[in-house]
Amino acid sequence: MKVIGQVGIFFAICLAGEFLSALLPLPVPGSILALAILFALLLCGALKPAHIGEKSDFLLQNMAFFFLPAGVGILEQASLLWENLIPLLVVCAVSTVATFGASAGTVKLVLYLQRRARHE
């Protein structure tokens, strides 16, 4: 019964996210809103990690399974991907370099702030 209750919590939060997505004039997916709702519930203490722990562990352990539909969808659009291969590679390369730069800059800033805090 415990797992059924946890699944019910997840479904209720997902349903609330979809409902909120339909109400808002912004093009925000319901799944993203559901994650925000879940985060807010955990943050304010209305939902404890123990309430959803077992189901969360199951979902995390089987996460690769949930990417199969996305992978099949990509394979179905292979011709479109091949047509736009060069722009996609450029975007991937530029975003990778930008991510590395942002990460390195963040690490340097944090180290600088930590050193400064120690000396004060």
Q: What is the pLDDT of residues 66-96, one digit of tens each?
A: 888 888 888 898 899 899 999 999 999 999 9
Asked if residues 54 and 5 have their Cβ atoms less than 8 Å apart, the reply is no
Q: Domain segments of the chain: what residues?
A: 1-68, 77-120
pLDDT for 19 = 95
Q: What is the per-residue pLDDT for 63? A: 85
- The pLDDT mean for the chain works out to 91
Query: Strand (E) positions, the chain?
Result: none
Q: How far apart are CA 7 and CA 53, in angstroms?
A: 11
Where helices occur in 1-120 by DSSP H, the ranges are: 2-23, 30-44, 49-61, 63-66, 68-76, 78-83, 85-119
Distance of CA 33 to CAs 18, 30, 82, 120, Å?
Answer: 7, 5, 33, 42
Q: State the pTM of this model.
A: 0.58
Residues of the chain under the 70 pLDDT cut? 1
